[in-house]
Chains A and B, each alone.
Chain A
Amino acid sequence: MSQTAISFPGARDTGTHAEEAVAGTSLWRDAWYRLQRNKLALSGLVFFLAMTLACGLGPLFTGYTYERTELSLKASAPLQPIIERVGARKAGEPRRDGIALSTLEDEFLDKPEADRQAIAGKIAHGDTYRDSRYTYQLTSRRHLFGTDALGRDLLTRVLVGGRISLAVGFAATLVSVIIGVLWGAVAGFAGGKVDLVLMRVVDVLYALPFTVIVILLMVTFGRNFILLFVAIGAVEWLTMARIVRGQIISLKHQEFVEAAVSLGLSERRIILRHLIPNVLGPVIIYTTLTVPDVMLLEAVLSFLGLGVPPPMSSWGALLDDGARTMETSLWLLLFPALFFSSTLFSLNFLGDGLRDALDPQSSKD
């Protein structure tokens, strides 16, 4: 009989009946090839990976920690020259503080205004200035994103906050995917009364006012990091369960599932080996869209003051802080917002791209 070569990128020629086994191209590989051709989705993926890497490792290299306050710095704007103020030696090591150039004149409020400006000008020029209490010296130290009201480095806080936001996003999504897929798969496959009961549970949970419940949880049990995962994960699985159930119902009447039943396979095996692998496409798509959803939810909770407790930060908590001071120090809102929204964008582009890649029929062109 004749062998027809179906050409897929990367697939080898099948025309020969060579002895060595021909490796197949799985649908996942095909999807990956299609995704690679989608530049927007691919850049979303690259951006997202870069963001994850930056948040994971970045705080080690910024030179600052997220929790160390330096009250003298106040909220200093990005890239402000920093003047080091060293206290006069009394006992032990002298105190060293940083002061932003813009607030330097406030140091000399006891002097006339003209003098103040002159002194500040000199220091900014690089001269060392000494008075009875302190020595002032311009340093090369800069804060790329400025500092917050307590003088903490904003870049470090944004990156550390990103860790929390991404961790919440992923952990809660993972929880929701596992519960949602299993719940939906069992309901869809079993059908009948089991389906009815399982899906009514989903309906009831849907109807509960989620934000109120999380607020109550947080108020009762305290602002707990783990609780945040659980609370968000426990809500996000509902939609997943519905999606998976619908997919399973349409799959279970396919002939390959009937064939699996005909073989006498166990229901467990049919669900795990035949049904779930075939719903993974929609699940992956929905997952990439759930991650930003969850991150947004975390931000909402943080914005309401129910997120991670300080001094820990998250993008939501930073946005909350930034929004309070946006009239005076806009950068405190701008940088976290930029990081947060660009990450959400990249995930959404990736999700759209995955949908087109995993389900070529649904693509618009």
Chain B
Amino acid sequence: MSRFLELNELKTYFPIFLGTVFRRAAGTVKAVDGIQLDLEKGEILGLVGESGCGKSTLARTVMQLIRNTGGAVYLEGRNLSELNPRQVRAERPNFQMIFQDPYASLNPRMTVHDALAEAIQTRGKLRKAVLTQKIAELLTTVGLPPNQMRRYPHEFSGGQRQRIAIARALAPEPKLIIADEPVSALDVSIQSQIINLLLRLCRERQLTMIFISHDISVVKYISDRIAVMYLGRLMEIGPAAAVVETPLHPYTRALVSAVPIPDPIRERARQRIILQGDPPSPLDPPSGCVFHPRCPYVKEACKRARPALEEKLPQRRAACIRIGEI
């Protein structure tokens, strides 16, 4: 167990029931279906994928906000999914989450001071003066003036609120941070501030982070490695620059080709790969490779067996049987 965080065949299924009086199971949504992933300490992993592919469910499963149906989450060698709720609670200060919507993730009835005090004291009660000192330090760290600590969330702008949310996530001194689309609710100008803040904090404090986004350019900027998710499964994983510049998996190629290039000449020459159809329902995923109905390179074998996530190039793994050919 040398890895800092290891997800071993992680599965999160939701049963679907139909009917009100005579409830019957109508199937399961396989939101996260066998994710194999590991992170080094201090690493930033970018997780991309389109809406509904299970990114957020994966985040909440790692956080154990949703208990996984199968597989395991190992944090520093400890299997979180085996712990009982009480033991999980004791572990929680070690891994924290930053949520997407800073308007919903802060309790509107608590001042910044109270919210941070609560988060800090998950590591044990502190004297008032020490506590206030710590809160002031935290606010300074995230770039907010400490004299604002007696204010309420609604008195701050979206970017400021996200800073508060980051401060709260840092307060219990976690080792792992999961950021679930932390900038997608913010203005573009604020996005870069928040991303740089996260990047700086991770480097300074040796934090490991899973950064979830559907914006490939953001993920490329912040991450060491990128993992691409589709319909609850990993399609490709590798070093950030390599995945974006020379994507292996057909799905990654389509995803990368959709990113606009901020250079009009090259932008005009950009070749877009338009995928046909919509992502299939996770209630009834396609056989074999889940991407096969939309894949431009599909062949008969793709429909039969589910391809494994295999090392295709050094440090680069992809789940596609045709990588060598296309």
Contact B150 A274 (CB under 8 A): no
Q: How far is the CB of A282 from chain B (nearest CB, A)?
A: 14
Taken together as a complex, chains A and B put the C-alpha atoms of A193 and B105 apart, in Å, by: 28
Taken together as a complex, chains A and B put the C-alpha atoms of A25 and B65 apart, in Å, by: 32
Contact B155 A24 (CB under 8 A): yes
Interface contacts beyond A27-B109, A263-B168: sample of 14 additional A-B pairs, CB < 8 Å, sorted by A: A1-B159, A1-B193, A6-B154, A14-B148, A17-B145, A24-B112, A26-B111, A256-B104, A256-B105, A256-B106, A258-B105, A260-B118, A277-B107, A278-B109
Mark each residue of chain A from 274 to 293: 1 if its CB lies under 8 Å from any CB of chain B, else 0.
Answer: 10011000000000000000
Q: Is A3 an interface residue when CB atoms closer than 8 A count as contact?
A: yes
Q: Is A254 an interface residue when CB atoms closer than 8 A count as contact?
A: yes
Instruction: Output the nearest chain B residue to A17 by Cβ-Cβ distance.
Output: B145
Q: Is B122 an interface residue when CB atoms closer than 8 A count as contact?
A: yes
**What 6 pairs across the A-B complex have the smallest Cβ distances?**
A264-B92, A24-B151, A255-B105, A277-B109, A255-B99, A255-B104
Which residues on the A side are within 8 Å of B95 (C-beta)?
262
- B155 touches which of A25, A260, A261, A263 (Cβ 8 Å): A25
Contact A264 B99 (CB under 8 A): no
A-B residue pairs in contact (CB < 8 Å), sample of 28: A1-B159, A6-B156, A14-B148, A21-B147, A21-B150, A23-B150, A24-B155, A25-B151, A27-B154, A255-B104, A256-B104, A256-B106, A256-B108, A258-B97, A262-B63, A262-B65, A262-B92, A263-B93, A263-B119, A263-B168, A264-B88, A264-B91, A264-B93, A264-B172, A265-B118, A266-B89, A273-B110, A274-B107
Which residues on the A side are within 8 Å of B112 (C-beta)?
24
Which residues on the B side are within 8 Å of A17 (C-beta)?
145, 147
Q: Is A11 an interface residue when CB atoms closer than 8 A count as contact?
A: yes
- B99 touches which of A6, A20, A259, A266 (Cβ 8 Å): A259
Q: Is B152 an interface residue when CB atoms closer than 8 A count as contact?
A: yes
Contact B148 A27 (CB under 8 A): no
Contact A25 B152 (CB under 8 A): yes
Taken together as a complex, chains A and B put the C-alpha atoms of A21 and B149 apart, in Å, by: 7
How many cross-chain pairs have Cβ atoms below 8 Å apart between A and B?
110
| With contact pairs A3-B145, A24-B152, A264-B90 given, residues A258 and B108 touching in the complex (Cβ less than 8 Å) | no
A interface residues, Cβ below 8 angstroms from B? 1, 3-4, 6, 8, 11, 14, 17-27, 254-256, 258-266, 273-274, 277-278
Q: Is B34 an interface residue when CB atoms closer than 8 A count as contact?
A: no
Taken together as a complex, chains A and B put the C-alpha atoms of A73 and B118 apart, in Å, by: 68
| With contact pairs A27-B108, A262-B65, A263-B119 given, residues A1 and B143 touching in the complex (Cβ less than 8 Å) | yes
Which residues on the B side are within 8 Å of A274 (C-beta)?
107, 110
Q: Is B101 an interface residue when CB atoms closer than 8 A count as contact?
A: yes
Contact A264 B109 (CB under 8 A): no
Contact A261 B150 (CB under 8 A): no
Contact B111 A24 (CB under 8 A): yes
Q: How far is the CB of A334 from chain B (nearest CB, A)?
A: 46
Instruction: Output the nearest chain A residue to B146 by Cβ-Cβ distance.
Output: A21
| With contact pairs A21-B147, A263-B93 given, residues A254 and B104 touching in the complex (Cβ less than 8 Å) | yes
Q: How far is the CB of A351 from chain B (nearest CB, A)?
A: 21
Contact B155 A8 (CB under 8 A): yes
Which residues on the B side are within 8 Å of A266 (C-beta)?
89
Instruction: Output the nearest chain B residue to A27 by Cβ-Cβ distance.
Output: B108
Q: How far is the CB of A190 from chain B (nearest CB, A)?
A: 13
Contact B108 A278 (CB under 8 A): yes
| With contact pairs A1-B193, A264-B89, A264-B92 given, residues A259 and B150 touching in the complex (Cβ less than 8 Å) | no
Mark each residue of chain B from 54 to 65: 1 if its CB lies under 8 Å from any CB of chain A, else 0.
Answer: 000000100101
Q: How far is the CB of A337 from chain B (nearest CB, A)?
A: 41
Taken together as a complex, chains A and B put the C-alpha atoms of A268 and B100 apart, in Å, by: 26
Q: Is B28 an interface residue when CB atoms closer than 8 A count as contact?
A: no
Taken together as a complex, chains A and B put the C-alpha atoms of A201 and B159 apart, in Å, by: 46
Instruction: Output the nearest chain B residue to A1 by Cβ-Cβ distance.
Output: B143
Which residues on the B side are within 8 Å of A273 (C-beta)?
107, 110, 118
Taken together as a complex, chains A and B put the C-alpha atoms of A20 and B149 apart, in Å, by: 11
Which residues on the A side are within 8 Å of B101 (C-beta)?
255
Contact A22 B147 (CB under 8 A): yes
Taken together as a complex, chains A and B put the C-alpha atoms of A166 and B119 apart, in Å, by: 43
Which residues on the A side are within 8 Å of B133 (C-beta)?
none
Contact B92 A263 (CB under 8 A): yes
Taken together as a complex, chains A and B put the C-alpha atoms of A41 and B112 apart, in Å, by: 32
Residue from B65, B91, B155 whose CB has the most chain A CB atoms within 10 Å: B155
Which residues on the A side are within 8 Å of B81 (C-beta)?
none
- A261 touches which of B65, B90, B143 (Cβ 8 Å): B65
